[in-house]
Chains A and B, each alone.
Chain A
Amino acid sequence: MSAASPGRRASVAGAAVLLACLAALLLMPLGVDKFYVQLVTKMMIMAVFAMSLDLLIGFTGLVSFGHAAYFGVAGYVLAYAAPQYQAASLWVSLPLAMAVSAFLALVIGLFVLRTSGVYFIMVTLAFAQMLYFVFHDTKLAGGTDGVYIYARPDAALGEWAGGWKPFDLENFVHLYYVVLALLVLTWIVLRRVLDSPFGRVIAGIKVNEPRMRSLGYATFRYKLASFVIAGTLAGTAGYFAAAQFGYVNPDLLGWHLSGSAIMMVILGGMGTLGGAALGAFMMMLLELLFQGLTKHWQLLMGCSIVGVALLLPHGLLGTVAAWWGRRATTGDTERTDG
Chain B
Amino acid sequence: MDERAPILRTEGLSKHFGGLAAVREVALTCRVGELHAVIGPNGAGKTTLINLLSGDLPPTSGRIAVAGNDVTGLPAHRISRLGVGRSYQKTNIFLPFTGFENCRLAAQSRLQPSMRFFAPAHAHAPTRAAAERALAMAGLEGRADVVAASLSHGEQRQLEIAMTLATAPRLLLLDEPLAGMGAEESAQIVALLKRLRADHAILLVEHDMDAVFAVADTLTVMVDGAVLATGAPDAIRANRAVQEAYLGSGEAENVSS
Contact = CB atoms under 8 A, between A and B. Distances in A.
Interface of A: 1-2, 4, 192-193, 195-201, 203-204, 207-208, 210-219, 221-222, 225, 332-337
Interface string B41-83: 0000000000000111000000000000000000111001100
Contacts of B127: 197
Interface stretch (B117-125, B190-198, B213-221, B225-233): B117-125
B105 A4 contact: no
Given A334-B147, A335-B145, A216 B93 contact: no
In the complex, the 8 A-B pairs of residues with the closest C-beta atoms, listed nearest first:
A216-B80, A216-B109, A197-B116, A197-B121, A213-B76, A215-B109, A195-B120, A200-B121
A225 B94 CA distance: 22
A336 B100 contact: no
Contacts of A207: 94-97
B105 A201 contact: yes
A197 B108 contact: yes
A252 B167 CA distance: 46
Contacts of B28: none
- Of A212, A215, A333, A337, most B-chain CB atoms within 10 Å: A215
Interface centre among B104, B116, B124, B127 (most CB of A within 10 A): B116
Chain A contact residues, majority secondary structure:
helix
B114 interface: yes
Nearest to A208: B94
A337 B122 CA distance: 10
Contacts of A222: 115
11 contacts: A196-B119, A197-B111, A210-B76, A215-B80, A216-B77, A216-B167, A217-B114, A218-B77, A225-B115, A332-B147, A334-B147
A333 B118 CA distance: 28
Contacts of A215: 77, 80, 105-106, 109, 163, 167
B98 interface: yes
Given A197-B111, A204-B94, A334-B147, A214 B121 contact: no
Contacts of B100: 1
Most buried by B among A216, A335, A337: A216
Contacts of A333: 145-147, 150
B147 A336 contact: yes
A50 B41 CA distance: 53
Given A215-B109, A216-B81, A216-B110, A196 B121 contact: yes
A4 B144 CA distance: 13
B188 interface: no
Interface string B177-210: 0000000000000000000000000000000000
Contacts, number: 108
A219 B105 CA distance: 13
A69 B252 CA distance: 63
B96 A4 contact: no
A99 B122 CA distance: 31
A198 B94 contact: no
Given A4-B145, A213-B77, A214-B76, A336 B115 contact: no
A198 B116 CA distance: 5
Contact of B115 (A198, A204, A211, A214): A198
A91 B204 CA distance: 61
B77 A336 contact: no
B101 interface: yes
Contacts of B97: 203-204, 207, 336
A330 to B, nearest CB: 14
A204 B119 contact: no
Contacts of B109: 215-217
Contacts of B105: 200-201, 204, 212, 215
A4 B100 CA distance: 14
A221 B113 CA distance: 13
A107 B72 CA distance: 30
A60 B187 CA distance: 39
A335 B124 contact: no
Contacts of B93: 208, 211
Contacts of B36: none
Interface in B149-182: 150, 163, 167
A201 B150 CA distance: 22
